[in-house]
Amino acid sequence: MTEFNKDKIKVIIADDHPLLREGIIKILSLEPKIQVVGEAEDGAQAIELARNTDVDIILMDINMPKINGIMATKIIKEEKPNVRIIALTIHNQEEYLFELIRCGISGYVLKDVRPDELIETIEKVTQGECFIPSSMTPKVFEVISQLTKRQEKNDDTFDLTPRELEVLQEVALGLSNKEIGEKLFISEKTVKNHLTNIYQKLGVTDRTQALLFAIKNNLVAPSNKDNCVGKN
């Protein structure tokens, strides 16, 4: 049984790509201040590990099976607020930044980060700092502005993000997931992730219920199309 050194920064790596996890473990194993105490291949495992492991930092992938990284972050931060989470992402996933900040991430790291930068980020976040790549600073200010405007407006959108509201409106127009992705310049998988989050926030279980709820609560404008809820 592995013994955990209380003086080291204890890290969990959550990513559904074994090769990436293995690479990060090798990098962190060379740093005497850091100890990897667990690895997860999906969001559900990450949550379970966080509940049962003495951990300081979780490196959290965003797109994972079962439970995505955003929802896993939200659950973990609610149950263990002292655990700090660093999002692992790729360049074209900036649309998630808004949701991740709201969920309480402490850092946002691109997957092409240099090993020394990754270690520096872990150390800074452990000390209570936040880390966002300088290339994304303009996006951060944009997100903060959006958060402020939403708070000032104080409208009841059931905690749906602007992107989720966009997806929901496209559903109301009768677009399929593939068509929504093409229109919003995001992947079909990303659309599915947004829909999963929408269902959870609205307390519904499928596309039809979500659309009826949205129309009833004036979250979207109803479509005149007959097939507006029939596409996947």
Token match 């979780």: residue? Answer: 58
Structure tokens at 143: 């997100």
Rounded to 5 degrees, what are φ and ψ at 119? -65, -40
Choose among 198, 218, 222: nearest CA to 210: 198
- Identify the pLDDT of residue 121: 92
Angle, helices 177-184 vs 188-202, to 10°: value is 110
Which residues of the chain carry a pLDDT beneath 50? 1-2, 154, 224-231
Question: Which pTM value belongs to this model?
Answer: 0.62
- Identify the pLDDT of residue 227: 38
| Residue type at position 188 | E
In the chain, the N- to C-terminal Cα span, in Å, equals 46
- Identify the pLDDT of residue 196: 92
Does the CA dihedral 91-93-96-100 come out positive or negative?
negative
16 burial type by CB count under 10 A (0-12 exposed, 13-18 middle, 19+ buried):
middle
